[in-house]
Copies of this chain bind each other. A is one copy, B any other.
Amino acid sequence: MTIWMLDETHDPQTESWVSSANRVSCDFALQNLPYGVAAAGDAAKPVIVVAIGDQALNLSACAQEGLLDRLFGADARSILCRDDLNALMARSPAEWRALRLWLHRALRAGSEMQSSIEGFLLPIESLEMRIPARIGDYTDFYCSVEHATNVGRLFRPDNPLLPNFKSLPVGYHGRASSIVVSNSPVRRPNGQIRVDGDIVFAPSRMLDYELELGAFIGGGKNDTGVHPLPEARERLFGVCLVNDWSARDIQAWEYQPLGPFLSKSFATTISPWVVTMDALAPFRVAARERLADDPALLDYLADKDEAGGGALNVDLTVHLQSAAMRKKGEAPLTVTRANAAGLYWTFAQMITHHMSNGCPVLPGDLIASGTISGETPGSQGCLLELTRRGAEPLDLGNGESRSFLQDGDEIVLEGRCEREGFRAIGFGECRGAVLPASDWS
């Protein structure tokens, strides 16, 4: 078991010489150390950075200076002096841990390395964040039994959950080219929708967000299809937030028999910081219990790891700010509060299933959880569920209501991990505002 071990990097007492990292509310504590890719100003070539408090350490510059030679030898520059994380993701879990340990020791209070790296700190607010990896393929799963049940109930009240849901992690191939990073505007898609019984080509009237977690894949290429779950789990590099924007009216008309297509591929927003599995080690919890009448779990999906569960205890929130709220300086409204621990399938199960047919899964690929919904009111991860397909509009509390998203609405996803005895860490923001549809007329 190379990943998810607790070690000195998780010690909650250790502080950083970057003082902003020591604030209790800070997402990017010394115990987090998420990776990203950023440009400092328009003209600058993007580099690999590590968030610490309100600063980002230019890791590419550290490697260029030879500071990582002891870890990666002659490969240090080819791994780290670039504008994506793919080469780092392609290394082994042991190397990921070694780099995390180096960063921890370099950034902790009293570090003798402070003087040699403090010149490589950049204020995060000065950075233009980029997509952290070249995402070859993007797969979206459907792992929340509450989401699947809520959505299924809208269409099949007597039989909401399809029979395969508890036998395998249902998933589909997404569109890699339409993934954008937080703060990118999202244009409302045009498409074929049903209006008053007729099919017309028009701007979607049922634009929705979807709250998800995404896992970036690391490790080598598989070519045999034989990857037992513990081995597949070691392909997990880290996690980000995902807003899988969806046009429900386009989806309803197009999706039979091959699944969602243009209802999803106009945009998927991800948060820029990749929180590593090692940073998430303290927040690992037992996977959701299977019920007595659930189908037996097939062997290849069984997680026999005695050391702990494969689920992640991440508190997730979705905030909506309308154009009117923004104009009046009103704070966004929190519309969803959920937790990722309740997913029916774990990321290790998703990737094992994904590779079980021999599918090449490559470093930099992204797999997302599907919409994360809970059981309680307000824990549904999309408006389709929250408003029962628009039938019960959401009161925004300022005189406005929403069945689905309006132009100018801005959606922000946030994620945070807390556990007694450990330092809390967070994911930063996954933000996007809706632009009006393009004019085809």
- List the interface of chain A (C-beta within 8 A of B): 136-137, 142, 162, 164, 167-168, 170-178, 187, 189-192, 199-201, 224-226, 247, 250, 253-263, 265-267, 295, 298-300, 353-354, 356-362, 365, 437-440
By a CB distance below 8 angstroms, the chain B residues around A261 are: 170-173
> A378 CB to closest chain B CB, in angstroms?
25
> Which of A167, A257, A262, A298 has the most chain B CB within a 10 Å cutoff?
A257
A370 to chain B, nearest CB (A): 9
Q: Is the pair A177, B262 in contact by a Cβ cutoff of 8 Å?
A: no
Q: Are B177 and A298 in contact (CB under 8 A)?
A: no
Complex interface: chain B residues within 8 A of A187 (CB): 224-225, 358
Can you show 10 pairs from A to B with CB atoms below 8 A apart? A170-B257, A177-B365, A192-B298, A225-B437, A250-B357, A258-B260, A259-B260, A265-B359, A267-B358, A356-B440
Contact of A440 among B201, B247, B300, B439 (CB under 8 A): B300
| Complex Cα gap A176–B254 (Å) | 22
Q: Assess the B357–A256 pair: CB atoms within 8 A.
A: no
Instruction: Decide if A258 touches B171 in the complex (CB within 8 Å).
Output: yes
Once the chains are docked, how many angstroms separate the CA of A160 from the CA of B300?
Answer: 36
Further 11 A-B residue pairs, CB within 8 A, beyond A177-B361, A262-B357:
A136-B176, A142-B258, A162-B257, A172-B173, A172-B261, A178-B360, A190-B357, A192-B298, A201-B298, A201-B356, A258-B260
> Bound complex: CA of A362 vs CA of B254, how far in Å?
23
Q: How many Å lie between the Cα of A189 and that of B300 in the bound state?
A: 14
Task: For A162, list chain B residues within 8 Å (CB).
Answer: 256-257
CB-based closest 4 A-B pairs: A259-B259, A189-B357, A172-B258, A173-B173
Bound Cα distance from A295 to B437, whole angstroms: 25
User: Among the listed B168, B437, B438, which residue makes an inter-chain contact with A192, where contact means beta carbons less than 8 Å apart?
Assistant: B168
Shortest beta-carbon distance from A339 to chain B in Å:
24
Given contacts A176-B137, A438-B224, contact A253 B164 (CB under 8 A): yes
Nearest residue, chain B, Cβ from A260 = B258
Q: How far is the CA of A235 from the CA of B172 in the complex (A)?
A: 26
B residues in contact with A176, CB < 8 Å: 136-137, 176
Which of B172, B253, B361, B365 contacts A259, CB < 8 Å? B172
Give the residue name and chain of the B residue nearest to A295 (CB).
B199
A247 touches B357 (CB 8 A): yes
The residues of B that contact A168 with a CB separation of less than 8 Å are 192, 253-254
Bound complex: CA A357 to CA B437 (Å): 9
Question: Contacts A226-B440, A253-B164, A356-B201 hold; do A177 and B258 have CB atoms under 8 A apart?
Answer: no
Contact A175 B226 (CB under 8 A): no
Does A177 contact B359, Cβ atoms closer than 8 Å? yes
The residue from B247, B357, B362 contacting A191, defined by CB atoms under 8 A apart: B357
